Structure 1
Amino acid sequence: MSPTVERVASFSAPVHTAVAIVGGGACGLTAALTLSQLGVDCVVLERDALPTGSTALSSGFVPAAATQAQQAQGISDSPALFAQDIQAKAHGRASPVLVDAYSRAIGPAMDALAHHHGVPWQVLDTFLYPGHSVHRMHAVPEKTGAGLMMRLHNAAEAAGVVVLTEAQVSTLYVNHADQVLGLGFVRPDGQLEQLSCDSVLLACNGFGGNAELVSTLLPEMRDALYAGHTGNDGSAIAWGQQMGAQLADLGGYQGHGSWAVPQGALISWALMMEGGVQINALGARFHDETQGYSEAAVHVLAQPGGTAWNVFDDRLLAFAQDFPDFRDAQAAGAVHTLPDVAALAQHIGCPVDTLRHTLDAVHEGQDPVTGRHFKRSLEAPFHAIRVTGALFHTQGGLDINAQCQVLRPDGSALPNLLAAGGAARGVSGDAVWGYLSGNGLLSAIAGGFIAAQTAAHQVAQATAQD
């Protein structure tokens, strides 16, 4: 089903809503919950039978600064420091307008979800994700993306938010002044239904599930395993292009260098940050694992066979078992335990002398080859997980301003089309190494929060003109 824009002089439909939200992931539901607090009616249209999206496939960890949860745990942080960390990871190539807007908005957005909708945040303070100066990664008690989506979905139901599932948006009805008047969506029976609205938020997707776009825009990930949501088909880009919108940061994406094979499970990068290493089929390390899990995807894919082994010890195993996703992967047989270096080498299929030399170099201090700083050595027995590099979601898309309005090439905003989350450019710049841990959910939740306020303002203007 090709996403289309149909130009019309006027449009009417049996049902009208103030704001139509395309996509029921973290971005769409955050926007809907924010609109409910602002007293603005909305409808969320979700293509799946149950709202999950990219969020449910993620770790569910959200970076945010100066939140009440941080304050409760005695953590000092600020939007300015957060913005500095974002730009440092992106080498200054992230949109300064969005970096400032998102780093400022994410704290109030998280606090609002907690205060008004009972989403219980806790700050993960036992490890520091790469690129973050302080502990600012927030999680719900389940510590999973699925748990976060469950909490948001329950909050939406409690708030009376209308979520139409199995409603795949196919058409935007747009007048000749580029104002979106409504949309058409297809139900499971194949029938096209229509909805008119005052404002539209594209909170739907990136393009990671579109093999043609990935091959064209992200050639280094052309043959990579895609571990994201199949709904990320580039619909937002297609609609935007048909309306003459500007695109930005199309080379940016979130990869992950720790996707367990053949189990198909995400292994937390916290293992690497706390002392684990990645070893290739030759028995050697090949990068500084603490630089980030996104660029690690490219490093792992460049190894023989496009795979590597996460190697760690008992202390790190106990640490990792605090994460439900890891426990699930372990139950699926992803973790192999070997008594000594010789057994580990046999399991990997590499020369034992090479592996012993590699592990002997893992000790307190700086590794002269990769530059990584280690706190301690790894001790037998060893645990190993075979992993590959995967593409999770894209970070480029429709160009937007600080209010999440979609922009034309001349910088002017389309009248009432908004975009956030995977549909829009993020704050990772235009390359894989620009992704700071959690940038995807930062864009989703901060973007949804901002877009809702912009939509509410647009609705008020439309009401005043009637």
Structure 2
Amino acid sequence: MSRILTDDLPFDLTVPVAIVGGGAAGLCAALAAREAGADLVVFERDALPQGSTALSAGLIPAAGTAAQRAAGIADGVAAFAADIQAKAHGAADPVVMRAVTEGAGPAVDWLSERHGLAFTVVADFSYPGHSARRMHGLASRSGAELIDRLRAAAEAAGVDIVTGAHVTALVATPAGRVRGLVVSRPDGSEERIGCDALVLACNGYGGNRALVAEHIPALKDALYFGHPGNQGDAVIWGRALGAELRQMSGHQGHGSVAHPHGILVTWAVIMEGGFQIDAAGGRFWNEASGYSEAALAVLGRPGGIAFDIFDDRIAGIARQFEDFRRAEAAGAVLQAESSDELANRLSIPRQVIRATLESVADLKRRRATDGFGRDWAGVPDLAPPYRAVKVTGALFHTQGGLAVDGSARVLRPGGEALPNLFAAGGAAVGVSGPEASGYLSGNGLLTAVVLGRIAGGEAARLASAQP
């Protein structure tokens, strides 16, 4: 159980910078701290650093990058910030938003040029809410590849990553200065590690059912599709130290998780002209709103399930994502040569499927907006063979967390920074506001990578100033 200790017992070892968590946020923090000349240790509870990053599509939104210029994409920080704020209904934390939108492009270029992560832009479709094509990913378009490459870069930089190291307590003074941490090892032993600066990069609280029920009650019983280690340690420690928690109801959901296979199906199958139906065969919402909102929309249907309907052309686009290829290999993606075969495979009356397909085709021909508010102008029609995936909704990760300033320092309610505590990624407040509908594609890795880089550099500078 996460706890704060105020004892004055000695430490087994002291390091200038300690980082809790070996996901994208922690590894970017480590790379930046190492670059700033600090000695540091990353403490990762699992046997191999993966975290929520490995479960994601591995895409980082950024504006003004070398990869965008190479693809002929014009974009800028102002447009990026406007898109985030529009999706968040004006509720995105302005300080964090400025830090991450200004820092994203340099961070992606830094990882590419200095550490060899060959990012390219997803240039063949647009994610909902983004006015430019700015999603950057590695070749497989998978979070697993991203975390593997970040780990390799950290190891090449001489970063010490201690795995099987579960941080169970922080040691702090009554004034809130962190003196160190307690690490539990798989054999039951404990180590006390002192530090001059601490970066919390241990994600959010999506795996803590009690905290989800408290802050996101609508999803308390939903499938959790994040890392089980996301137990809210950062917010529990931060609150005990007197930190402010912000926008704790904010989260990313997803309404396209193959059921029962548990594999993410890219939202490109929807945005390229597909749609969702429920078990009765009818559409039920504006799918172009975004995949985060889709979680509650799908969970609200009978049985909490729906079907993604698309075609062979769209499947070809989706295959650039490793998760989609996995879904196909697992048999989650059904194929039908006609509408009648599609109906049979989904156990839905033929006339219902025909009517739904014809209705969508008519909307596309007329370039019309339907009764749910989805604009079909310029969206290609579907053609057999059709594809379908049975999906459910899920909670992916939380977006609320510790209040931070532009230097990723954790703040008290009045705006004063705690003496030596930093937070990044899911541990810190994100830029999605308090609702699922505020989540813009990529917001999770955006704050992980950019705040991680900022936190690592600032923690190194603070540690170097210590006597």
TM-score by length of 1: 0.97
Q: Structure 1 residue 455 and structure 2 residue 459: aligned?
A: yes
Q: Structure 1 residue 446 and structure 2 residue 450: aligned?
A: yes
Q: Report which stretch shifted further, 410-419 or 20-29.
A: 410-419
- Residues 347-366 of structure 1 mapped to structure 2, 5 A cutoff: 347-363=345-361, 364=364, 365-366=367-368
How many Å apart are 1:124 and its aligned residue?
A: 0.9
Q: Is the 8 Å Cα contact of residues 172 and 180 (structure 1) preserved in structure 2?
A: yes
Render the CA deviation track for 1:369-412: whole Å, top value 9, x for unaligned: 12222313212221110000011100011111111111111111
Q: Report which stretch shifted further, 44-53 or 138-147.
A: 138-147
Q: Structure 1 residue 415 and structure 2 residue 413: aligned?
A: no
- Residues 294-373 of structure 1 mapped to structure 2, 5 A cutoff: 294-363=292-361, 364=364, 365-373=367-375
How many Å apart are 1:353 and its aligned residue?
A: 2.2
Partner-residue secondary structure (3-state), 1:308: strand
User: What does residue 48 of structure 1 align with?
Assistant: 46
How many Å apart are 1:352 and its aligned residue?
A: 2.4
Cα distance in structure 2, aligned partners of 1:165 and 1:221: 31
User: What does residue 117 of structure 1 align with?
Assistant: 115
- Residues 254-333 of structure 1 mapped to structure 2, 5 A cutoff: 254-333=252-331
Q: Report which stretch shifted further, 327-336 or 215-224.
A: 215-224
AA aligned opposite 1:242: A
Render the CA deviation track for 1:44-94: whole Å, top value 9, x for unaligned: 000000000000000001101111211222221111111110000001011
AA aligned opposite 2:373: G
Cα distance in structure 2, aligned partners of 1:396 and 1:371: 29
Q: Is the 8 Å Cα contact of residues 36 and 461 (structure 2) preserved in structure 1?
A: no
How many Å apart are 1:11 and its aligned residue?
A: 5.5
* Number of aligned residues: 461
- Residues 365-444 of structure 1 mapped to structure 2, 5 A cutoff: 365-374=367-376, 375-444=379-448
Partner-residue secondary structure (3-state), 1:362: helix
Structure 1 residues 142 and 380 mapped into 2: Cα distance closer, same or farther (>3 Å)?
closer
AA aligned opposite 1:100: R
Partner-residue secondary structure (3-state), 2:133: coil
> Unaligned regions of 5+ residues in structure 1, if any?
none
Q: Is the 8 Å Cα contact of residues 361 and 367 (structure 1) preserved in structure 2?
A: no
Render the CA deviation track for 1:335-374: whole Å, top value 9, x for unaligned: 1112222222232233322222211121321242122223
Identity, in percent, stands at: 51
Q: Is the 8 Å Cα contact of residues 11 and 173 (structure 1) preserved in structure 2?
A: no
Render the CA deviation track for 1:292-335: whole Å, top value 9, x for unaligned: 10001110001111000011111112222222211111000001
AA aligned opposite 2:372: T
- Residues 17-416 of structure 1 mapped to structure 2, 5 A cutoff: 17-363=15-361, 364=364, 365-374=367-376, 375-416=379-420
Cα distance in structure 2, aligned partners of 1:391 and 1:112: 31
> Unaligned regions of 5+ residues in structure 2, if any?
none
User: What does residue 6 of structure 1 align with?
Assistant: 5
Cα distance in structure 2, aligned partners of 1:137 and 1:122: 8
Cα distance in structure 2, aligned partners of 1:299 and 1:251: 17
Render the CA deviation track for 1:136-189: whole Å, top value 9, x for unaligned: 100011210000001001101111100000000011110122111111100111
Cα distance in structure 1, aligned partners of 2:64 and 2:175: 41
Q: Report which stretch shifted further, 452-461 or 386-395.
A: 452-461
Q: Is the 8 Å Cα contact of residues 16 and 464 (structure 2) preserved in structure 1?
A: no
Partner-residue secondary structure (3-state), 2:191: strand
